[in-house]
Structure 1
């Protein structure tokens, strides 16, 4: 179970102000390409599941790809709780799947989480893209927390968000 505080920030200026308050220099930065998949008959959404492949690029490092399955998400007063499983996948294979979602069934034969996804919710007519967005994530150390500040680029505009994972989100939120 992933538990995190999620707070939307209204503008780039508010985001920059928060980052200055967090010390100005992130401990790490990531460029993320997030691609979401769905069955042709909306099988995943009908089961309240989200299936994503994320390509993560960090300066000076080889890209990493991660398959994620999320379900039963609940967001109340800025605190999100979601069942989540993640597993790395070869970056070249991930990019091939992004280019051709029909490869999911073939790759699932040798990838544990993809196999779980296709067995849990069979999509008899295959998979398609559901959506895509890119974001830049800056991570800051603040007290005992890692604070993630995202600038997300959607086709319709930008969004700004802060996330903090915590086993005690109410306390973390109050301190923030």
Structure 2
């Protein structure tokens, strides 16, 4: 179970203000390409599950500029997002970057890819005898990561085809306490925010900004 605080930054100016404030605590910046897959019959979506390939491109900091490209496959299921606190069942695994790129070009190759996560998808969703996967599309995300007051903050600029969204996230086992800490930081620095009420995938599927 992944538990995260998720707060939406209401404007690009709020995002810039927050990243400026957090600059002394900056660890790295990640450039992510997120692509989503389902069956032609939407077997995963109808059961509140999401299959994602996340490609990590070279970052812009000294710590990440030399990192090789990576890809992680993840299965998320039964998400809830209430009062800015997200809970979702998640399983993820790093897979070969080159093979993952081939699956983007030919999604049917996901059916035979050697992967613990994809094996779970096939078995738990009864997909052993089906026509394969299709790519639903996706979006880019620039994630700035900070170590602040004992927690890791992730500040996102998500770039959809229909516009950009901004969000601050923090994975934690104490979501109520950490949410209060982050809210205090934002209010003290006049950073406009609200509770997130949609996941990034839900925003992508809706085709419009929240």
What TM-score range do you get, normalising by the shorter chain? over 0.9
3-state DSSP of counterpart to 2:26? coil
Note the alpha carbon deviations across 1:121-159, whole angstroms, 9 max, x for none. 217121111231001100011101110001111010111
RMSD: 1.2
1:41-52 matches, cutoff 5 A: 41-52=41-52
Look up the match of 2:83: 77
3-state DSSP of counterpart to 2:75? strand
Once residues 151 and 168 of structure 1 are traced to their aligned partners in structure 2, the CA distance between those partners, rounded to angstroms, is 25
Note the alpha carbon deviations across 1:85-128, whole angstroms, 9 max, x for none. 01000000111111110101121xx2211111122221712111
3-state DSSP of counterpart to 1:27? strand
Match of 1:111 among 100, 107, 115: 115
Q: Does 1:143 align with 2:146?
A: no
Would the aligned equivalents of 2:25 and 2:148 in 1 still touch at CA under 8 Å? no
User: Could you tell me how far 1:169 is from its partner in structure 2?
Assistant: 0.3
Provide the TM-score with structure 2 as the length reference.
Answer: 0.80
| Structure 1 portions without partners, runs of 5+ | none
3-state DSSP of counterpart to 2:23? coil
| Structure 2 portions without partners, runs of 5+ | 59-64, 183-210
Q: Does 1:89 align with 2:95?
A: yes
Structure in which a larger fraction of residues adopt strand: 1
Look up the match of 1:172: 178
Report the count of equivalent residues: 174
Once residues 87 and 2 of structure 1 are traced to their aligned partners in structure 2, the CA distance between those partners, rounded to angstroms, is 15
Look up the match of 1:36: 36
Note the alpha carbon deviations across 1:12-35, whole angstroms, 9 max, x for none. 110011112223562111100000
Once residues 124 and 70 of structure 1 are traced to their aligned partners in structure 2, the CA distance between those partners, rounded to angstroms, is 20
Would the aligned equivalents of 2:25 and 2:147 in 1 still touch at CA under 8 Å? no
